[in-house]
């Protein structure tokens, strides 16, 4: 290979170009990103940065300069098309980039809600500019409504309360984070937020967003109106693959990849939020993982496979964390609400505990609430394909 193009200049894109150079690739390396900013860290956007506790320059992910990496960059430039026959990426600037190897790391964008999108006090949170705009609005607000009680919605709600803004969270599911958490853990998390003054309402349906030009109130199906100065939508994301449609690349909830994260065409890989792949640790279940740690680990593997011409499978158990008020929540594996659950360290009453999840006799996941050391042990056990009983005994002991 003489040239590699990486599309997506966030965490995954930066880490993969660093690893490509580390693997000894000396050819032309180009990084394309649609934001004008150099790569930065996203997790603080819903927490420290949103609350004004850190400045933007503290978020930089760049360890080596573009010159040190011999890296060509196209910041503020969007990829708009892919010609696989010509091995060429088309940019919105009119430029076309030829490649021998291509890495797709375009991530995802927040979903929006009809009836609220485009109004001046309605926000999503994904980018640095999103966080700046939301933070500015919150500093002038008295009441905020967050739609969606997933992890990002609850992080934003915790930050709103810390900034002195009265906050209501609206969720259609019966418990927070219902797709990820066992109902008992969802109930614990709901109680935790209620105790800190968040008006968290689950099992509710939104009828309408009232107001012209801005949302003045959210009307529920029950008829209740909840006034707001700021409305935040946190209902998940959609992978950024529109620019790939019609290219011939296989798309399925992202870029469809094999276990090695190679896409349907030789020399083309995907990683991070945009990559859909069968995970060997979980009986080949196809998944798309939106976690920081997974993106970093995938970037390392993609660089190795691309530069060395190998096809090693990605076999790391998904790992993520969420900071809400003083509580650090960590999750690992692929637990589902219907799995067998066992509390092996601590208790709900203590507020610090580790919950293990088993399926078909195997350990498939764990959630730690203030239990980072035990969570690491659980991840190791999942990657060793430990049985549920073995994991319970070893971690409990």
pLDDT digits (tens, 9 = 90+) for 196-215: 999 999 999 999 999 999 99
Q: Does residue 397 carry a pLDDT above 70?
A: no
Tokens 């009453």 found at? 349
pLDDT digits (tens, 9 = 90+) for 360-381: 999 999 999 999 999 999 999 9
Q: What is the pTM of this model?
A: 0.96
- Quote the pLDDT of residue 163: 98
Q: Does residue 216 carry a pLDDT above 80?
A: yes
- Quote the pLDDT of residue 396: 76
28-34 mean pLDDT: 98
Domains of the chain: 3-109+238-308 (3.50.50.60), 112-233 (3.50.50.60), 326-396 (3.30.390.30)
Q: Please name the residues in contact with 288: beta carbons below 8 A apart, sequence gap of 6 or more.
A: 239, 253, 254, 273, 274, 275, 276, 277
Distance CA 274, CA 266 (A): 18
pLDDT digits (tens, 9 = 90+) for 278-325: 999 999 999 999 999 999 999 999 999 999 999 999 999 999 999 999
Contact 244, 80 (CB under 8 A): no
55-80 mean pLDDT: 96
Q: Please name the residues in contact with 283: beta carbons below 8 A apart, sequence gap of 6 or more.
A: none
- Quote the pLDDT of residue 9: 98
Tokens 């934001």 found at? 35
**Cα–Cα nearest to 229, from 148, 115, 154, 122:** 122
Provide the CA 60 distance to its chain's centre, in angstroms: 18
- Quote the pLDDT of residue 88: 98
Distance CA 347, CA 118 (A): 44
94 by Cβ neighbours in 10 Å (0-12 / 13-18 / 19+) ranks as exposed
Q: Please name the residues in contact with 350: beta carbons below 8 A apart, sequence gap of 6 or more.
A: none
């Amino acid at each position: 290979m003489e040239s590699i193009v990486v599309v997506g200049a966030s965490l995954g894109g930066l880490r993969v170009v660093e690893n490509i150079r580390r693997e000894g690739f000396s050819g032309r390396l180009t990084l394309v990103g649609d934001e004008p900013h150099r790569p930065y860290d996203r997790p603080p956007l819903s927490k420290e940065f949103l609350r004004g506790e850190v400045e933007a320059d503290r978020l930089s992910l760049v360890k080596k300069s573009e010159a040190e990496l011999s890296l060509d960059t196209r910041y503020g430039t969007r990829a708009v098309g892919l010609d696989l026959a010509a091995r060429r990426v088309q940019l919105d600037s009119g430029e076309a980039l030829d490649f021998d190897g291509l890495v797709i790391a375009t991530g995802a964008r927040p979903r929006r809600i009809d009836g609220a999108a485009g109004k001046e006090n309605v926000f999503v949170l994904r980018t640095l500019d999103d966080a700046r705009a939301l933070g500015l609005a919150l500093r002038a607000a008295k009441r905020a409504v967050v739609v969606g009680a997933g992890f990002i919605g609850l992080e934003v709600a915790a930050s709103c309360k810390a900034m002195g803004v009265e906050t209501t969270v609206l969720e259609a599911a019966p418990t927070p984070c219902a797709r990820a958490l066992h109902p008992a853990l969802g109930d614990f998390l709901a109680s935790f937020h209620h105790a800190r003054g968040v008006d968290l309402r689950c099992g509710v349906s939104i009828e309408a967003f009232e107001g012209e030009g801005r949302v003045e109130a959210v009307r529920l199906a029950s008829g209740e109106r909840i006034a707001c100065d700021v409305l935040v939508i946190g209902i998940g994301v959609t992978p950024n693959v529109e620019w790939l449609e019609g290219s011939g690349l296989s798309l399925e909830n992202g870029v469809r990849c094999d276990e090695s994260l190679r896409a349907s065409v030789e020399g083309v890989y995907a990683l991070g939020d945009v990559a859909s792949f069968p995970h060997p640790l979980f009986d080949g279940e196809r998944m798309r993982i939106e976690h920081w740690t997974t993106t970093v680990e995938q970037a390392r593997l993609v660089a190795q496979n691309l530069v060395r011409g190998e096809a090693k499978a990605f076999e790391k158990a998904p790992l993520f964390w969420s900071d809400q008020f003083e509580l650090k929540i960590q999750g690992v594996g692929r637990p589902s609400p219907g799995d067998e659950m066992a509390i092996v360290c601590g208790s709900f009453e203590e507020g610090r505990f580790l919950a293990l999840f088993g399926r078909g006799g195997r350990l498939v996941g764990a959630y730690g609430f203030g239990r980072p050391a035990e969570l690491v042990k659980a991840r190791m056990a999942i990657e060793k394909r430990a049985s549920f009983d073995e994991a319970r005994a070893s971690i409990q002991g």
